[in-house]
Amino acid sequence: MSKRLYGIAVVGFGGMGSQHINLLRGMPEFFITGICDIDSQRKEIAGAQGLPVYVDFKTVVYDPNASIVLIATPNHLHKENRTELQEMIKAVELSQRIFVVHQNRRWDEDFLAIQKINDENIIGDIFHLESRVHGSRGIPVTCVRKRSTVAA
């Protein structure tokens, strides 16, 4: 039985995007259809690594070889509210694609412990909770570095 190959386009070729690419290279079920980034230097780095580079996000969306689009943009470029989320859901419905939000912290032990405490009402109603996560280089998630935007 042959395995199915999935084409993946990666949007955002910074820290997380390049890390995803490195992991994907070792997974035979996937092939990288290309990367998309607003930063011309990141596009050059990707090209130098032999990765195809999309001209803009529209070419990613309409690429028939990209069955998965992995969005690895910096936190300050993430959608922030319900209205923006509804816009994304509408776009997904129009494209007849599947949309999944990856919340990698939901399986961490500390998160699961707090979830259990809340679900079992061990300490009563939780009205405030703070959690800090440090990124791969020790940078707190709350300290977002600004990145210049380039018109696509």
All domains of the chain, ordered by start, with CATH? 6-105 (3.40.50.720)
The pLDDT value given to residue 65: 93
Residue 137 pLDDT class (50, 70, 90 cuts): low
pLDDT of 135 reads 64
Nearest to 100 by CA among 67, 132, 149: 67
Q: Has residue 148 got a pLDDT over 60? A: no
**Amino acid at residue number 148:** S
**Residue 55 and residue 150 in contact, taking contact as beta carbons nearer than 8 Å:** no
- Residue 57: exposed, middle, or buried by beta-carbon count in 10 A (0-12, 13-18, 19+)? middle
Q: Using a CB cutoff of 8 Å and minimum separation of 24, what contacts does 138-141 make? A: 141/75
Q: What is the pLDDT of residues 47-92, one digit of tens each?
A: 999 999 999 988 998 899 998 889 888 877 777 777 888 888 888 7
